Amino acid sequence: MRILHVNKFLYRRGGAEGYLLDLAALQRDAGHAVEFFGMDHPENLPMRYSRHFPAHVEYEPTPAAVSARLALAGRMLWCRSAQRGMAAVVDDFAPDVIHFHNIYHHLSPSVIRAATASGATLVMTLHDYKLVCPTYRFLDQGAICTACVHGGLRQAPLRRCKDGSLAASALAAFEVGAHRLAGAYASLDALVCPSRFLHGQLTAAGIHRDRLVHVDNFTSVDVPQRAGAGEGIVYAGRLSPEKGIDVLIRALARLPDARLDIAGDGSSRAALVDLADAAAPGRIRFHGRLDTDRLRLLLAGARVSVLPARWLENQPLAVLESFAAGVPVVASALGGIPELIEPGPCGALVPPQDPAALAAALGDYLADPDRARVHGHAARARVLAQHAPAAHLRAITALYGDIRATRSPAAVETPA
Q: What is the pLDDT of residues 198-236, one digit of tens each?
A: 999 999 999 999 999 999 999 999 999 998 889 999 999
Over residues 339-366, mean pLDDT: 95
pLDDT at residue 65 tops 80? no
Q: Which CATH number fits domain 233-386: 3.30.565.10, 3.40.50.10800, 3.40.50.2000, 3.40.50.300?
A: 3.40.50.2000
CA distances from residue 172 to 153, 242, 338 in whole angstroms, order as listed: 9, 19, 29
Instruction: Give the separation between CA 18 and CA 181, rounded to whole angstroms.
Output: 32
**What is the reported pLDDT for 15?**
87
**What is the reported pLDDT for 14?**
84
Q: Virtual CA dihedral for 250, 254, 257, 260, nearest 10 degrees?
A: -20
pLDDT at residue 279 tops 80? yes
Instruction: Give the DSSP H or E segment for 97.
Output: strand 97-100
pLDDT at residue 313 tops 80? yes
Does 2-219+389-411 match 233-386 in CATH topology? yes
Instruction: Give the separation between CA 295 and CA 288, rounded to whole angstroms.
Output: 10
Peptide bond before residue 61 is cis, with ω within 30 degrees of 0: yes
Looking at the DSSP assignment, which residues form a beta bridge with residue 144? 139
Instruction: Give the separation between CA 54 and CA 179, rounded to whole angstroms.
Output: 20
CA distances from residue 96 to 3, 99, 109, 343 in whole angstroms, order as listed: 6, 10, 19, 42
Q: What is the pLDDT of residues 29-48, one digit of tens each?
A: 999 999 999 999 999 999 99
Q: What is the pLDDT of residues 5-26, one digit of tens each?
A: 999 999 988 889 999 999 999 9
CA distances from residue 246 to 143, 257, 356 in whole angstroms, order as listed: 15, 18, 13
In which band, very low, low, confident or very high, does the pLDDT at 192 lie, cut at 50, 70 and 90? Answer: very high
Q: Which CATH number does 2-219+389-411 carry?
A: 3.40.50.2000
DSSP labels, 195-241: SHHHHHHHHHHTSSGGGEEE------S-SPPPPTT--SEEEES--SG
- pTM for the model stands at 0.92
pLDDT at residue 406 tops 90? no
Question: Domain-by-domain residue ranges, the chain?
Answer: 2-219+389-411, 233-386
pLDDT at residue 61 tops 90? no
pLDDT at residue 155 tops 50? yes
- Mean pLDDT in the chain? 94
Q: Residue 364 burial by CB count (10 A; 0-12/13-18/19+): exposed, middle or buried? A: middle
**What residue type is assigned to position 134 of the chain?**
P
Over residues 245-251, mean pLDDT: 98
Q: Virtual CA dihedral for 402, 119, 106, 39, nearest 10 degrees?
A: 100
Instruction: Give the separation between CA 186 and CA 12, rounded to whole angstroms.
Output: 29
**What residue type is assigned to position 185 of the chain?**
Y
In which band, very low, low, confident or very high, does the pLDDT at 75 lie, cut at 50, 70 and 90? Answer: confident
